[in-house]
């Protein structure tokens, strides 16, 4: 996750993109770049502006201001070219109930000059056995797989997946995660919007945190954690209860917190690298004639970084 980005021109460039509806801002500042070939995550809660940004990228909606480029093309000034460069799966796909799976794929294929073969697409997304099934008879997970197949049919270089796993159970979400990771092996650039923090951590090389229409930070999950949390936490119990004076001296040298749990005191210290912090703590304790009972290192998470950046927890 820490390797340098490719030097080629970015697949997607957004600069200060703005959009409002009736005076109510949906996007205040959409600014980030997506490198070619990466899975890039747009992480934010419902109402953050993710779908608005996606629709601007796809040329469905016009922006109020800012700059947008997809492989060098502007969705507004080159709408026909954009359709050959970028395709997407949207959250809501109101397809007719009585259309068969292969008919829907063939219908979308007719929109592109060099589409992928429908049988190949259905094989990729695991729907070969459902090719003659009516849309209404597909499960929620199968409908999402079909939506991804439709996003792939044009064989565009850039693919947008807008909340592809929302509302699905954990097993189906895992299956879709595996599918998305396989898609990245085709050399495609994937922009994934999500409000699931663990999904962004698992799938995305880099993540942009979008909250209330503004991009607050961009980086790998590890970079966001390193830059926007206070470091790792070491939690220890000691081999015997401390006197008040011993506890005062311990916390004076290394500020921390004390919590009483099940009759035992747990001392919690925060710093940069947990292993180094623990070694220094053991040395301090030995000078005082004290020893460890138990020790645990807790590493900060992307969820903590998100909370620091936005001041709000994201709904699961």
**Residue pLDDT, tens place only, 172-200:** 888 889 888 988 888 899 999 999 999 99
- Separation of alpha carbons 11 and 65, rounded Å: 20
> What's the rounded mean pLDDT across residues 62-83?
94
What's the pLDDT tens digit per position in 21-45? 998 999 999 999 999 999 999 999 9
Tell me what pLDDT residue 185 has.
Answer: 83
pLDDT greater at residue 150 or residue 314 = 150
Tell me what pLDDT residue 7 has.
Answer: 47
- Separation of alpha carbons 167 and 100, rounded Å: 23
pLDDT greater at residue 197 or residue 1 = 197
Domain ranges of the chain: 12-227, 231-299
Tell me what pLDDT residue 1 has.
Answer: 33
- Separation of alpha carbons 18 and 310, rounded Å: 19
Class of domain 231-299 (CATH, top level): alpha beta
Average pLDDT, the chain: 89
| Bridge partners of residue 189, in order along the sequence | 158
Q: Is 206 helix (H, G, I), strand (E, B) or coil?
A: strand
> What's the rounded mean pLDDT across residues 70-91?
91
- Domain spanning 12-227: CATH 3.40.640.10: no
> What's the rounded mean pLDDT across residues 233-256?
87
On the question of pLDDT at 206 being above 70, the answer is: yes
> What's the rounded mean pLDDT across residues 60-69?
96
> What's the rounded mean pLDDT across residues 113-130?
91
Q: Which two tokens stand for residue 226?
A: 């390193």
> 191 near 159, Cβ under 8 Å?
yes
Tell me what pLDDT residue 316 has.
Answer: 62
| Bridge partners of residue 33, in order along the sequence | 13
């Amino acid at each position: 996750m820490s390797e340098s980005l490719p030097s080629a021109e970015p697949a997607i460039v957004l600069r200060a993109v703005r959009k409002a509806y009736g005076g109510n801002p949906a996007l205040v500042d959409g600014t980030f770049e997506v490198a070619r070939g990466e899975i890039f995550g747009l992480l934010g809660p419902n109402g953050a502006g993710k779908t608005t940004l996606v629709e601007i990228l796809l040329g469905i909606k016009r922006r109020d201001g800012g700059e947008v480029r997809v492989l060098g093309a502007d969705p507004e000034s080159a709408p026909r070219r954009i359709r050959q460069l970028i395709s997407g799966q949207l959250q809501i796909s109101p397809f007719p109930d009585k259309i068969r799976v292969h008919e829907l794929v063939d219908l979308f294929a007719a929109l592109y000059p060099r589409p992928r073969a429908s049988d190949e697409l259905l094989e990729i997304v695991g729907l070969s056995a459902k090719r003659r099934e009516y849309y209404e008879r597909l499960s929620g997970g199968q409908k999402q797989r079909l939506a991804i197949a439709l996003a792939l049919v044009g064989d565009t270089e850039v693919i947008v997946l807008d909340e592809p796993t929302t509302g699905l159970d954990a097993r189906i979400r895992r299956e879709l995660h595996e599918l998305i990771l396989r898609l990245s092996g085709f050399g495609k650039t994937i922009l994934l919007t999500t409000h699931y923090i663990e999904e962004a951590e698992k799938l995305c090389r880099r993540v942009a945190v979008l909250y209330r229409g503004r991009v607050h930070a961009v980086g790998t999950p590890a970079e966001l954690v390193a830059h926007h949390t206070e470091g790792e936490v070491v939690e220890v119990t000691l081999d015997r209860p401390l006197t008040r004076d011993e506890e005062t001296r311990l916390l004076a040298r290394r500020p921390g917190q004390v919590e009483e749990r099940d009759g035992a005191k747990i001392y919690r210290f925060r710093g940069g690298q947990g292993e180094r912090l623990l070694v220094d703590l053991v040395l301090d304790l030995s000078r005082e004639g004290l020893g460890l009972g138990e020790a645990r290192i807790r590493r900060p998470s992307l969820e903590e970084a998100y909370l620091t950046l936005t001041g709000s927890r994201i709904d699961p």
